[in-house]
Structure 1
Amino acid sequence: MSPEASSPQQAILQFLTSLQSPARILVAISGGSDSTGLLFLLDEAVKAAPDLKISLCAATVDHALRAGSADEAREVADLCASLGIPHTILIWQGDKPKTGIMAAAREARYDLLAAAAQNFKADLIVTGHTFDDQRETFAMRGLRSEQVSTGIADAVLFDRHIWIMRPLLGSRRADIRAYLKTRGISWLDDPSNEDVTYERVRMRQRLAEEVASKAGAETEGQRLLLAADAAAWLDLHFRLHGGMLGHISPDGLRAEAAVLNYALGRLAAVFGGRDFPPGGKQMDGILAFIAAAKAGRMTAGRVVFDLRRSGLYLARESRGILPLSLQPGERSVWDGRFEVVNNSPFGVRIEAAGMNAGPGAAGSPKREEECSATTESRRSGSCYEHSNAARRDDTLPKAALKRATAALPVVLPMAGIVFSDDLAGRVRLTPYSAPFDRFLTRFDFIFANRLSAVFATAPYARLPLRSIDGKTI
């Protein structure tokens, strides 16, 4: 998965020989040159090396956003049939948002692809992202932040269970198109790729005349080392009390700046239920607050940072925690911090303990100070098994503990229903890591996996590889 692949053919061969086998690969193909090239390159390599024991299947997502998309999807289906590759068309159903359409389409696309991978019993998904896409990403992120970016990751774990890999990320689009032309293979051109209302299209046009460079390979290695150092820092300096209150030791606050920035930023995202760490300016403010070494509190990214002589305490601020309603059988994420599955026969409502739940709350006690006990009684798993012990720990600052307790979830039945402990226990609450549980890059895997152990959640699925860049893993 080196970004220095000299040709698309070499990149694909290196990718396939690095895979654990036998393996079944789901190819995400839109019909454009990149994904069409990916399909043909994989098909050619797999047929030339049957000893690899790798098979292909394919899926096309029809976002149903423009006329002709359904016809294009059928063309791709015919192409796959001609190669003997099983294929399915996935349609993004329902109303589309008026704003944030690209982000919503991305979420829907990966949900659909993950479902298709499960149906095909595929071990991984591959997409046709190229070096050109990488350059555009570097450039766009560079306009927004001075922080060094690793760009598009070559491997991302989606929804904790399926890896999405990009074997052509080091290959140029021009080389992929040259490969297709020499074989007389045509592709579809998506008109949205010329629509300058999209930032990526504008950046693509701007970069068209610039000389491409291989910048980014070095930062990938730096990011991996940083994540490993931050994971070691986590073991030495971070403690989780009662599944709700984070604590960083004074020695941990004196760690190397880059390690503290990385680790603290991602802890803030987890405690705040945010997909990303706080931005550069916010992180500068947090680090300056810590460096001043004066007892006090500050709030950033929905997290209260409480600095004391005994260290830094992190908890979700009690404001802005919205309730969540779930019907029987439904699953969702509450406040970006807990995955909730309602296996009870009744509708439920999840609220923060600090809202002082009314009559009928699961387990019956309603007061904020009792929340840790009632939450423990209504969930499966072990996240809160030390909640009561944390409350009895006199070394913990009471104000910080109360703040963390107020942000815990309380399960309430819909009006007219009184939960027994048995019914309440059928509403499953599991800690959710917003920056990692939906999209986890290979670069952050070591840190995220270590953090999952701290929160007593299941480890993340490992990469389906036996080697990376020729090195056994």
Structure 2
Amino acid sequence: MFPEDPISPEAAIDRFLASLKTPARILVAISGGSDSSGLLLLLHEALKAAPDLSISLCASTVDHALRRESADEACRVATLCASMGIPHRTTVWQGKKPKTGMMAAAREARYGLLAEAAEGFDADLIVTGHTLDDQRETLHMRGMRTEQISTGIADAVLFDRHFWILRPLLFSTRADIRRFLTARGVAWIDDPSNEDVKYERVRTRRQLSAEGAAETDIFRAWEERLALSSDGAEWLHRHFRLHGGLLGQVMPGGLRQDRRILDYALGRLTAVFGGQPFVPGRKQMERLLAFTTGGKPGRMTVGRVVFDLRRDGLYLARESRGILPLVLRPGEAGVWDGRFEAKNRLAATIEITTQAGAVNEATMRKGSSAPDLGSPGSDDKQDTGDRSQGLPKAAWKRAAASGPAISAGQGLLLPESAQSVDLTPHFAAFDRFLTRFDFTFADRLSAVFSRAPYAEPPLRSIDGKTI
């Protein structure tokens, strides 16, 4: 459940600072609203009172350029930071704004710009002013969509595999933060979009204000999710193999494990092999689990992934339909099909597409423009040598057909030229936003695909427990 008594903002900040690995440089994301302004002032006062802590502050404001007043508001924030001697930078969301999905697009842009600012300040982590009010709203909104217990807003999220975003005030109320600011004579900016009922969160906020929030055992949900991540990582180690970077295999014993672990692991593998940012919906997962545990050989497609159930296990690979090409000019980088990060180090423009049915096992083994992405031998569950040996021919051909092919001009690149195009497996479900709840599973999956480990959280303890 939520804390019986919300944590005071001052106590929350003291606990947060004590949990950090030091030395540390913190980038505070500040919009000028009460939550982020309170976060900045709370951190500033706590660090002034503890000068021996090797922790420093910097700050950044993202101007979304959606309102005429936003530039002036960013200037007011810069003035507040200057009064405290805190380095500050304003970044502006440039370009055309989408007509739909504005909140999601703004969130994506905001964190990307905050990461750029953190890079420029040489910061170690980013903090945001999410509060207990935000948590309650999120849980209510998710509760309207599913009967499953939600973990709500995570207290720690890894962005873009590089910067951890932490939320020190997640169990403090907005009212307490505003009392803190008022006592110090510090004003804040009220964003009018926070009153615009076209947004679901605003409607939810008004509903909760009138009716109150239903009690949710958030800590139990967090503990269960962490346990699932750990159990899922162990399941990967014992029961999952990767062939050639493109074909997954769940060994027969893996299909006889606890249904909750199987649901968790297969859902996330589906997202990874399908290049999707989210796991399939509940009805799709129920169909998939019924199929994979039914014991009857056959095939089915879920989330752009073909599942091929055989006596020697379950094979999974990206279906070859709907794979769009990616064009990269010299020096450009991008993500192809949600599955591979690509960077063009050639002097020519390239196109990455799939060879589909034209690809065969020999092509994958001997080179041309489809590089070896599995790096066999780096993981104890990976195969070596002839990747098609001992594998079902149809399953291997299907996986190979979904692999990347690189061309420039009229033809495929020669192997030596293809080496100038960097291709790295990309996990759409984890690589942009990875909550600490999924960290253990994602990190194990990264090892299976021979990727570098994810950045460890910049914490020495969580909720008073050493990590």
Q: What TM-score, normalized by structure 2, do the two folds share?
A: 0.95
SS in 2 for 1:51: coil
Partner of 2:364: 372
Partner of 2:33: 32
Q: Distance in 2 between matches of 1:187 and 1:219?
A: 34
| Aligned partner (choices 207, 219, 222) of residue 220 of structure 1 | 222
Map of 1:188-337 to 2, 5 A cutoff? 188-212=189-213, 213=215, 215-337=217-339
Partner of 1:23: 24
Q: Give the deviation of 1:406 after TM superposition.
A: 0.3
Q: Give the deviation of 1:294 after TM superposition.
A: 0.8
User: Per-residue displacement from partner, 1:99-127 (whole Å, max 9, x unpaired)?
Assistant: 11111111111110001000000000000
SS in 2 for 1:85: coil
Q: Distance in 2 between matches of 1:10 and 1:158?
A: 26
Equivalent residue pairs, number? 460
Q: Give the deviation of 1:422 after TM superposition.
A: 3.2
User: Per-residue displacement from partner, 1:274-332 (whole Å, max 9, x unpaired)?
Assistant: 00111111101101112322110110100011111111111001110111100011110
Q: Distance in 1 between matches of 2:267 and 2:289?
A: 10
Q: Distance in 2 between matches of 1:17 and 1:271?
A: 39
Q: Does 1:393 align with 2:389?
A: yes
SS in 2 for 1:106: helix
Gaps of 5+ in 1: 357-366
Q: Give the deviation of 1:182 after TM superposition.
A: 1.3
Partner of 2:63: 62
Partner of 1:402: 397
User: Per-residue displacement from partner, 1:220-266 (whole Å, max 9, x unpaired)?
Assistant: 01110111011111111111111111111111111111111000100
Map of 1:70-219 to 2, 5 A cutoff? 70-212=71-213, 213=215, 215-219=217-221
2:364–2:372 Cα contact (<8 Å) kept? no
Q: Distance in 1 between matches of 2:30 and 2:403?
A: 43
Q: Distance in 1 between matches of 2:420 and 2:307?
A: 34
SS in 2 for 1:456: coil
SS in 2 for 1:50: coil
Q: Distance in 2 between matches of 1:471 and 1:418?
A: 54
The 10-residue stretch of structure 1 (152-161 or 176-185) with the greater mean CA deviation from structure 2: 176-185
Gaps of 5+ in 2: none
User: Per-residue displacement from partner, 1:322-350 (whole Å, max 9, x unpaired)?
Assistant: 11100011110000000000111111000
Q: Distance in 1 between matches of 2:246 and 2:69?
A: 50
Q: Give the deviation of 1:374 after TM superposition.
A: 5.5
Q: Distance in 2 between matches of 1:209 and 1:390?
A: 65
Q: Does 1:46 align with 2:41?
A: no
Write the letter of the residue equivalent to 1:201. Answer: V
Partner of 2:464: 470
Q: Does 1:345 align with 2:339?
A: no
The 10-residue stretch of structure 1 (3-12 or 23-32) with the greater mean CA deviation from structure 2: 3-12
Q: Distance in 2 between matches of 1:324 and 1:418?
A: 14
Per the alignment, do residues 51 and 85 of structure 1 end up closer, same or farther by CA in structure 2, a change over 3 Å counting?
Answer: same
Per the alignment, do residues 414 and 236 of structure 1 end up closer, same or farther by CA in structure 2, a change over 3 Å counting?
Answer: same
SS in 2 for 1:223: helix
Q: Distance in 2 between matches of 1:374 and 1:108?
A: 41
1:269–1:434 Cα contact (<8 Å) kept? yes
RMSD: 1.9
Q: Does 1:444 align with 2:433?
A: no
Partner of 2:450: 456
Per the alignment, do residues 209 and 375 of structure 1 end up closer, same or farther by CA in structure 2, a change over 3 Å counting?
Answer: farther
Q: Give the deviation of 1:173 after TM superposition.
A: 0.8
SS in 2 for 1:197: coil
The percent of aligned pairs where both chains have the same amino acid is 62
Q: Distance in 2 between matches of 1:376 and 1:8?
A: 59
1:378–1:427 Cα contact (<8 Å) kept? no
Q: What TM-score, normalized by structure 1, do the two folds share?
A: 0.93
Q: Give the deviation of 1:70 after TM superposition.
A: 0.5
Q: Give the deviation of 1:370 after TM superposition.
A: 3.8
Write the letter of the residue equivalent to 1:372. Answer: M
Write the letter of the residue equivalent to 2:205. Answer: R
Q: Give the deviation of 1:387 after TM superposition.
A: 8.6
1:380–1:428 Cα contact (<8 Å) kept? no
Q: Give the deviation of 1:6 after TM superposition.
A: 1.9
1:354–1:368 Cα contact (<8 Å) kept? no
Per the alignment, do residues 211 and 464 of structure 1 end up closer, same or farther by CA in structure 2, a change over 3 Å counting?
Answer: same
